[in-house]
């Protein structure tokens, strides 16, 4: 499916908007909001950490919608959306883990601990990394798409578990930014004033970036399919 000029213009506009939002978000992270009272400069990492987790949540959620739509319609465009969303979500999940480790080192005095939240994020990452590896091992296109659709739906349970775990496990030390918790977290901070403004702006920015990246990945996948078909046509003419 070739992209129309109108779609290209919209995507280009959204791309520039996402870049502008990201620049403003970084300026807010480093200049608008001051160091947190207890965590100091290390707290600034949290804005990107939460933003990237939201990006992975939205992307993996999109893969669920795409999976359901594919199973209902068998239209391969939904498989393309699901694959694109999982790839982008996995990238954001990686950023979430890396920034979380960078924050944990000065706050918890360790890069990693097998806390319930950290463990659940690792399981989520492995679940979607397995999606990518298992998908490439299936040669038949229809079987591959059907498997990916079902797997993408089931794997989202690991995302929900990651969201819920810090609210129900009393032994987690991971802070909860919003919502109730039964735990006594280490490194918690009050979300108010400029911290709240900066956090919400970062969340909005990463949501827009997620949409833009998934759209670009879909376009790249469509282009790749067109090139592959053209190669087959050329080989058939030889």
Report the percent of the chain where pLDDT is more than 70.
88
3-state secondary structure at position 60:
helix
In this model, does residue 166 exceed pLDDT 90? no
- The model carries a pTM of 0.87
Question: What pLDDT score does 1 carry?
Answer: 44
CB neighbour list of residue 2: distance below 8 Å, 6 or more residues apart: 222, 226
Mean pLDDT computed over 186-205: 80
Most confident segment among 13-22, 29-38, 112-121, 216-225: 13-22
As a whole number, the mean pLDDT across the chain is 87
Which of the pair, 194 or 21, is modelled with greater confidence?
A: 21
């Amino acid at each position: 499916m070739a992209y129309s000029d109108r779609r290209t213009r919209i995507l280009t506009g959204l791309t520039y908007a996402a870049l502008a939002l990201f620049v403003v978000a970084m300026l807010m992270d480093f200049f608008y909001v001051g160091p947190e009272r207890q965590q100091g400069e290390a707290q600034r990492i949290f804005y990107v950490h939460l933003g990237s987790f939201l990006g992975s949540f939205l992307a993996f959620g999109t893969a669920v919608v795409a999976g359901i739509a594919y199973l209902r319609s068998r239209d391969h465009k939904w498989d393309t959306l699901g694959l694109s969303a999982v790839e982008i979500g996995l990238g954001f999940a990686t950023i979430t883990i890396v920034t979380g480790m960078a924050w944990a080192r000065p706050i918890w005095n360790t890069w990693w601990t097998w806390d319930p939240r950290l463990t659940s994020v690792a399981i989520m990452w492995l679940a979607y990394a397995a999606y990518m590896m298992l998908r490439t091992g299936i040669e038949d296109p229809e079987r591959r798409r059907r498997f990916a659709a079902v797997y993408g739906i089931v794997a989202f349970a690991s995302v929900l578990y990651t969201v819920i775990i810090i609210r129900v496990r009393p032994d987690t030390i991971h802070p909860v930014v919003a919502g109730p918790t039964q735990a006594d977290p280490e490194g918690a901070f009050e979300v108010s004033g400029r911290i709240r403004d900066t956090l919400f702006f970062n969340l909005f920015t990463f949501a827009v970036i997620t949409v833009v990246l998934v759209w670009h990945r879909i376009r790249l996948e469509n282009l790749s399919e067109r090139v592959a078909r053209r190669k087959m046509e050329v080989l058939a003419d030889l």
